[in-house]
């Protein structure tokens, strides 16, 4: 929430603190115009936000259709989504926040089916769509609606390319506009209904200033000659979606699984399946059923009785009373698995130790770090370490060959290409102006 946050005007519950405002209260009725009713129950905009008198709350198909018709001619809009992965088993969109230069709105997707007019806007090349940290929103929009958003502007990426170190939305709004966001709802359960008034206000503020922020960042990128860099990054965001992962291999992707024996992995696999089944039935995040650390403890200790199970740290009595026997059965299945069938991690590509290759990585890193200092950029943004390693393996002889390396950008070749080629040709790496930080940059 912002300092000097908006207040509700003419609301029957105004002044009632945290009493919820049911979204159904905001559904337009035939006797009251949609815009008038929505604004009557909506927070007023803060000083400095774009021209609207306050966000519209839309929870009927008719209201959404009228709103989308009213913005159909817009050529730039800001959008944000609220999911609930911290609370729910399958994440989905629980709120859609939209801002144009004149209007702000919140759509309740639980009450309104896929609004085709919004998909038309988001997929139109002539409409610029502004996000802050677009990746997750793009994945949810594709998962829930099948939309492939085009003509993207990501304020987080823009800030990083400008060398801004504090590139979170709250930090940027504070830096550029003196606007303070309250972070208290960062992990809120957006699937709950009705949503309290302060949560609706908080959600609306995620897009209210994005168009102004986009303009400031765009101007700065143009001044620094980096707008083309940003455009290349934005173009690469198009088509972002989740790749389907093999659910049978989920246990191998848990951090710490590589520390287990093959027998312990077999038990972990059974426990992960049990936890997923329970979480799916409850529509609850898996860690709210049992944390990963608890599953690792169970896999290592392999308890065989409810009495021992009750003493496992982090496993609640409720879970033991309701699911204790199922947990013991899962452990027993893993413990009884024949030795030949025990799971193992798939073999990845192995690279023989190559001093020449390591020297090339070091020389590339030195060249990148020098350039990052000159550009006042984070070295990892300028060119992340895994890209340096890919270039070192390819060992190009000309700058043009760098584009044959996966994920290398054209702007990176323009900025770093000649220095990278010189570094690869020279045998001795110069000292980097940055200290090594665990090799992650």
Residue 307 and residue 368 in one domain: no
Look at residue 43 and tell me whether its pLDDT is greater than 50.
no
Q: What confidence tier does 430 reach under pLDDT thresholds 50, 70, 90?
A: low
| 119 to 12, 72, 99, 115, 129: CA distances (angstroms) | 35, 11, 15, 7, 11
pLDDT of residue 299: 98
Residue 174 and residue 54 in one domain: yes
Residue 107 and residue 251 in one domain: no
Residue 389 and residue 325 in one domain: no
pLDDT of residue 12: 26
Report pLDDT digits (tens) over 208-236. 999 999 999 999 999 999 999 999 999 99
Q: How confident is the prediction for the chain on average, in pLDDT?
A: 86
pLDDT of residue 126: 98
Residue 176 and residue 41 in one domain: yes
CATH number at residue 62: 3.30.420.10
Report pLDDT digits (tens) over 53-72. 578 999 999 999 999 999 99
CA dihedral 266, 271, 273, 274 (to 10 degrees): 150
Report pLDDT digits (tens) over 341-370. 999 998 766 666 789 999 999 999 999 999
Look at residue 47 and tell me whether its pLDDT is greater than 60.
no
What's the mean pLDDT in 289-307?
A: 97
Residue 254 CB-density burial (10 A; 0-12 exposed, 13-18 middle, 19+ buried): middle
Q: What confidence tier does 37 reach under pLDDT thresholds 50, 70, 90?
A: very low
Report pLDDT digits (tens) over 103-162. 999 999 999 988 889 999 999 999 999 999 999 999 999 999 999 999 999 999 999 999
pLDDT of residue 53: 55
pLDDT of residue 25: 30
| Residue 433 domain flag | no
Look at residue 199 and tell me whether its pLDDT is greater than 60.
yes
Nearest-angstrom CA–CA distance, 247 and 276:
10
Q: What confidence tier does 32 reach under pLDDT thresholds 50, 70, 90?
A: very low
| Residue 11 domain flag | no
pLDDT of residue 431: 56
| Residue 309 domain flag | yes
Return the HEC string of 71-139: CCCCCEEEEEEECCCCCCCCCCCCEEEEECCCCEEEECCCCCCCCHHHHHHHHCCCCEEEECCHHHHHH
Residue 80 and residue 220 in one domain: yes
| Residue 349 domain flag | no
Give the rounded percent of residues in the chain with a pLDDT score beyond 70: 83
Q: Are strands 104-107 and 95-99 parallel, antiparallel or unpaired?
A: antiparallel
Report pLDDT digits (tens) over 74-84. 999 999 999 98
Look at residue 5 and tell me whether its pLDDT is greater than 60.
no
Nearest-angstrom CA–CA distance, 149 and 64:
19
Bigger pLDDT: 27 vs 409: 409
Look at residue 45 and tell me whether its pLDDT is greater than 60.
no
Domain boundary among 237, 257, 281: 237
pLDDT of residue 89: 87
pLDDT of residue 197: 87
Q: Which domain holds residue 205?
A: 23-237
What's the mean pLDDT in 286-313?
A: 96
Look at residue 30 and tell me whether its pLDDT is greater than 60.
no
Residue 266 and residue 319 in one domain: yes
pLDDT of residue 245: 73
pLDDT of residue 168: 96
Helices (H) and strands (E) in the chain, counts: 18, 6
Residue 29 and residue 163 in one domain: yes
Q: How many domains, the chain?
A: 3
Q: Global pTM?
A: 0.80
pLDDT of residue 21: 30
Contact 395, 424 (CB under 8 A): yes
What's the mean pLDDT in 298-326?
A: 96
Residue 116 and residue 231 in one domain: yes
Domain boundary among 180, 207, 237: 237
pLDDT of residue 1: 35
């Amino acid at each position: 929430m912002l300092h000097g946050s908006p207040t509700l005007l003419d609301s029957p519950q105004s002044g009632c603190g945290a009493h919820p405002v049911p979204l159904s209260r905001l559904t337009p009725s035939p006797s009251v115009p949609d815009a008038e009713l929505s604004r009557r129950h909506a927070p007023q905009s803060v000083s400095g936000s774009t021209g609207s008198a306050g966000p519209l709350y839309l929870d009927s198909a008719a209201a959404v259709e009228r709103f989308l018709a009213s913005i159909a001619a817009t050529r730039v809009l800001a959008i944000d989504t609220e999911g609930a992965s911290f609370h729910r088993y399958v994440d989905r969109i629980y709120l859609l926040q939209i801002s144009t230069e004149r209007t702000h709105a919140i759509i309740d997707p639980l009450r309104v089916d896929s609004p085709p007019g919004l998909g038309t806007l988001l997929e139109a090349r002539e409409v610029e769509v502004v996000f802050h940290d677009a990746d997750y929103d793009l994945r949810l929009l594709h998962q829930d609606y099948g939309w492939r958003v085009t003509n993207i502007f990501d304020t987080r990426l823009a800030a990083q390319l400008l060398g801004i170190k504090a590139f979170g939305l709250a930090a940027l709004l504070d830096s550029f506009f003196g606007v303070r966001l309250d972070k208290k709802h960062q992990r809120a359960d957006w699937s709950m209904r009705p949503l309290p008034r302060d949560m609706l206000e908080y959600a609306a503020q995620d897009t209210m200033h994005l168009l102004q922020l986009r303009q400031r960042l765009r101007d700065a990128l143009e001044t620094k000659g980096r707008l083309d860099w940003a455009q290349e990054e934005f173009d690469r965001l198009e088509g972002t979606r989740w790749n389907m992962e093999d659910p049978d291999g989920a246990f191998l992707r848990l951090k710490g699984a590589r520390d287990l024996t093959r027998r312990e992995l077999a038990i972990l696999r059974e426990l992960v399946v049990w936890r997923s089944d329970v979480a799916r039935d409850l529509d609850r995040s898996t860690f709210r059923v049992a944390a990963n650390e608890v599953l690792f403890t169970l896999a290592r200790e392999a308890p065989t009785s409810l009495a021992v199970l009750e003493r496992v740290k982090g496993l609640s009595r409720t879970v033991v009373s309701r699911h204790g026997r199922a947990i013991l059965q899962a452990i027993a299945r893993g413990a009884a698995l024949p030795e030949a069938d025990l799971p193992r991690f798939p073999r990845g590509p192995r690279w023989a130790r190559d001093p020449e290759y390591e020297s090339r990585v070091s020389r590339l890193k030195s060249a990148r770090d020098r350039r990052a200092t000159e550009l006042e950029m984070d070295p990892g943004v300028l060119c992340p370490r895994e890209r340096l390693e890919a270039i070192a393996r390819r060992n190009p002889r000309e700058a043009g060959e760098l584009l044959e390396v996966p994920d290398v950008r054209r702007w990176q070749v323009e900025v770093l290409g000649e220095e990278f080629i010189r570094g690869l040709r020279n045998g001795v790496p110069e000292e980097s102006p940055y200290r090594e930080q665990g090799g992650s940059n």
